[in-house]
Structure 1
Amino acid sequence: MTSIDNITLEVADPAAAERFYATAFGLDTQLRLRASQEPTTGFRGFTLSLTVSQPADVDALINAALDAGATALKPAAKSMWGYGGVVQAPDGTIWKIATSAKKNTGPATRRIDSIVLLLGTTDVAASRKFYLDRGLTVAKSFGRMYVEFASGPGPVKLALYRRRALAKDAGVSPDGGGSHRIAVGGAIGPFTDPDGFTWETTTTATRTASQPV
């Protein structure tokens, strides 16, 4: 079991990114922002998913993100798994908003039930072993395609997904290189995993999205 305390996104303009995330998703302590000009091209190898309770909340959050400047990658639609869509924030981060429910049970609340960080891997089995060696435990596993780890009290869950499949799910090409533009904050760091994702020991010094820039 692990606990991800927060996610740090490396962005060109922290002030603009802060305004976007506050307006679109209402995220604060779960998300941190750090100025960076590290070069990156194409798919950054990860997505963030917001899980909600019903389709009305998916629509409300996607519409809020689009109004705040996001780009639609996949319009919200029904699938065999539920209902969801994908947007790309102005800073380049890809967000999927989804629910397993197919019918609404009430008006939209925009309440987020969970946040899932999906890391795209070239070898799911090797990355799975890497994280197991660092004390994580598996909650769900689908062969060499997908692994979800048991989560602690932190606000973010961790999962591994084959890179090409993750890109397809997000509606983008799997090609990309350079910086991932993300760091994961938690007690099991610091280290860099086999796919180049950086974990940092959580500190109070890193700016949160709700703090002034």
Structure 2
Amino acid sequence: MPVIESVILESPEPGTAEAFYSAAFGLGDRLRFRASDEPTTGFRGHVLSLVVSQPGTVDLFTASALDGGAVVVKPARKSLWGYGGVIRTPDGAIWKIATSARKDTAPATRRIDDFVLLLGVDDVKTTKRFYTDHGLTVAKSFGNKYVEFDTAPSRLKLALYPRRAAAKDAGIDPEGTGSRRIAIAADHDFTDPDGLAWEAARIRA
């Protein structure tokens, strides 16, 4: 089964991006950075997500990101499923910070329970089949609406949404062109049907 080491984020200024993410989220080597000037506009076809324990922790991470130059896309609020919001980081990536809890039960911390890469794909069934053919096991599946893979022992969870549904959930327009500005560093090399590259070379470097 493919093992994910980290997410590679591409930016014209990777050093600046690394400093931002270190201060805002503290994900350490779960994020890597490299330079890229490839053009990109609109939705890049993915949402990165931090799942935490309670609303106060959502607000804490959101405030850290805003202090570093991120902007609010979807203000954090309560909903039927919990509490959360969406931001755009200075490098243009879309991040969702959320919890299934609707009220605090302890002081806020900087603990992250799950780091998730949610892919907005053209055809969930096709992309799901691709990943299962490449060794991933499905942990949850709701037809063509949502798929989550069992990526243990990786420190990153991987999930699929229809592209328009992913963009709607994030509060952004689904249209976009150009570079995805993201790749996965893993122990396998391949590119999925939606153009996301898995790069084993990044592990060996």
CA shift, 1:141, in A, is 0.6
Instruction: State, as a whole percentage, how many aligned pairs show the same letter.
Output: 61
Which residue does the alignment assign to 1:192?
191
Q: Does structure 1 conserve the Cα–Cα contact (< 8 Å) formed by 2:7 and 2:184?
A: yes
Q: Equivalent residues in 2 for 1:122-161 (5 A)?
A: 122-161=122-161
**Residue deviations 1:25-61, cap 9 Å, x none?**
1121100000000111110000100000010000000
Q: Does structure 2 conserve the Cα–Cα contact (< 8 Å) formed by 1:54 and 1:100?
A: yes
Q: Which runs of 5 or more structure 2 residues have no equivalent in the other structure?
A: none
1:67 matched to 2:67: yes
Say which SS state the counterpart of residue 180 (structure 1) adopts.
coil
1:164 matched to 2:158: no
Number of residue pairs matched by the alignment: 204
**Residue deviations 1:98-147, cap 9 Å, x none?**
00011111111121111000111010000000001001110001110110
* TM-score using structure 1 length: 0.93
Which residue does the alignment assign to 1:54?
54
Inter-partner Cα distance in structure 1 for 2:50 and 2:21: 12
Structure 1 consecutive aligned stretches of length 4 or more whose deviation exceeds 6 Å: none
Inter-partner Cα distance in structure 1 for 2:137 and 2:27: 27
CA shift, 1:2, in A, is 4.4
Inter-partner Cα distance in structure 2 for 1:128 and 1:146: 10
Q: Equivalent residues in 2 for 1:84-123 (5 A)?
A: 84-123=84-123
Which residue does the alignment assign to 1:14?
14
Say which SS state the counterpart of residue 19 (structure 2) adopts.
helix
Question: Which has the bigger relative contact order, CA under 8 A and spacing at least 6?
Answer: 1
Which residue identity is paired with 1:100?
Answer: S
CA shift, 1:15, in A, is 1.4
Q: Does structure 1 conserve the Cα–Cα contact (< 8 Å) formed by 2:5 and 2:203?
A: no
Inter-partner Cα distance in structure 2 for 1:72 and 1:173: 15
Which residue identity is paired with 1:164?
Answer: R
Say which SS state the counterpart of residue 29 (structure 2) adopts.
coil
Q: Which runs of 5 or more structure 1 residues have no equivalent in the other structure?
A: 206-213
Say which SS state the counterpart of residue 29 (structure 1) adopts.
helix
* TM-score using structure 2 length: 0.97
| Root mean square deviation of aligned Cα | 1.0
**Residue deviations 1:138-184, cap 9 Å, x none?**
00011101100012112100001100000011111000011101011
Q: Does structure 2 conserve the Cα–Cα contact (< 8 Å) formed by 1:147 and 1:161?
A: yes
Inter-partner Cα distance in structure 2 for 1:2 and 1:152: 10
